[in-house]
Chains A and B, each alone.
Chain A
Amino acid sequence: MSVLTPIRHALATANAYLRIDLSTGRTDVICGAQADFLLVDIHRDDDVRPGPYGRYQIKAADGRTVRLAPLASRSGPMATWYKHCTLPDGRTSYPQAPMSGAEVLKHAHAADGAVHRLLDGGFIRVHRGRCAETWSPLIVNPQETS
């Protein structure tokens, strides 16, 4: 099978996916066709596990664990507050003070690398092939609960 031929039963249906190698921390974006090719043709069915929001986790035969998360359009509505984490080494996440939606957008505009929005409403910043920062939407207002 090749990446260009029509797909029999597609697993990956989004246009683009964020690919995170949990063992090495390597993070990049791949197109939907390539994600589908990995899920359907490269890895065994038993190694592929679907998750929420159209995500997939691959536990490869060589011991690597790879996570695929579909990208959403950046232009959707923003949550009021976001939980903010930085990942200096690309793997360990350190929680930071919550940020408002407007602050996240402003930060995303100025930061190095590429900021992508995921289907769960969270944002992720990829810089030099590593995940550098994450923002996940908060249901409760941090100022009310503190």
Chain B
Amino acid sequence: MTITDSTADLYLVTYENGTATVLEGADVRGMIEDATHQDPSFLIPLDSGAFKLDFASPAGAGIQFEPVKADISVPFERLVEMRSRDGIQWQEVGGVSLADAERLLGEEVSRCDGSIWFLMSGTVVVLDGQKATLRFEPLRETRK
């Protein structure tokens, strides 16, 4: 077995209380199986391979799963900076270039000694060990 054999598929999992963690694909599939076994309507698919488990239906609540990308490229030039204190309420700070996003990511991750995750959707997230504190989401609409 070599190092390059390591192909753990990972998901960024965000719980209702804002706690965020990275789980193995095997664990995530187990959670999905358990939930859909109770009621298939608990599973709500979202964009870019993400999905949500919604146990009770006051909308918005639930556990959100976002697939983590294996490579670290960000295929977008403009990103939207979003910050949060609790991992639940997100405040949009504004649009930034990829170069500025790199700098802000570096600053944030060394401030909180956290971890950086690249998601399938092109979003980059910083976790401080408990919750997500900073997100860069791709700016999709192209204005000329």
Task: Say if A and B assemble together.
Answer: yes
A interface, CB within 8 angstroms of B:
2-5, 13-16, 19, 26, 28-34, 54, 70-75, 108-109, 113-117, 119, 129
Q: Are A31 and B24 in contact (CB under 8 A)?
A: no
Residues of B within 8 A of A13 (CB): 3-4
Residues of B within 8 A of A71 (CB): 6, 8, 24
Q: Are A4 and B3 in contact (CB under 8 A)?
A: no
The stretch of B54-62, B82-90, B100-108 that contacts the partner chain: B100-108
Residues of B within 8 A of A4 (CB): 72-74, 98, 102, 105
Residues of B within 8 A of A28 (CB): 114-115, 127, 129
Q: Are B109 and A34 in contact (CB under 8 A)?
A: yes
Residues of B within 8 A of A33 (CB): 72, 116, 118
The docked-state distance in angstroms from the alpha carbon of A28 to that of B105 is 18
Q: Are B3 and A30 in contact (CB under 8 A)?
A: no
Residues of A within 8 A of B2 (CB): 54
* Given the contacts A3-B116, A74-B24, A16 and B10 also touching, CB distance less than 8 Å: yes
Cβ-closest chain B residue relative to A72 = B6
- Which positions 112-144 of chain B face chain A at CB distance < 8 Å? 114-118, 127, 129-130
B interface, CB within 8 angstroms of A:
1-10, 21-27, 30, 68, 70, 72-74, 98, 102-103, 105-106, 109, 114-118, 127, 129-130
Q: Are B102 and A119 in contact (CB under 8 A)?
A: no
Residues of A within 8 A of B105 (CB): 2-4
The docked-state distance in angstroms from the alpha carbon of A23 to that of B1 is 30
The docked-state distance in angstroms from the alpha carbon of A70 to that of B6 is 7
Residues of B within 8 A of A15 (CB): 6-8, 10, 70
The docked-state distance in angstroms from the alpha carbon of A117 to that of B6 is 10
Q: Are A73 and B6 in contact (CB under 8 A)?
A: yes
Q: Are A72 and B117 in contact (CB under 8 A)?
A: no
Residues of A within 8 A of B114 (CB): 28
Residues of A within 8 A of B24 (CB): 71, 74, 114-117
Cβ-closest chain A residue relative to B98 = A4
Q: Return the contact of A54 from the options B3, B22, B103 (Cβ within 8 A).
A: B3
Pairs of residues from A and B, 7 with the lowest C-beta to C-beta distance, nearest first: A54-B3, A14-B6, A74-B26, A2-B102, A33-B72, A30-B115, A71-B8
A52 to chain B, nearest CB (A): 11
Q: Return the contact of B72 from the options A31, A70, A72 (Cβ within 8 A).
A: A31
Residues of A within 8 A of B130 (CB): 129
Q: Supply 11 A–B pairs (Cβ within 8 Å), ascending by A.
A: A3-B102, A3-B116, A16-B68, A31-B72, A32-B72, A71-B24, A73-B6, A73-B9, A74-B24, A114-B22, A114-B24
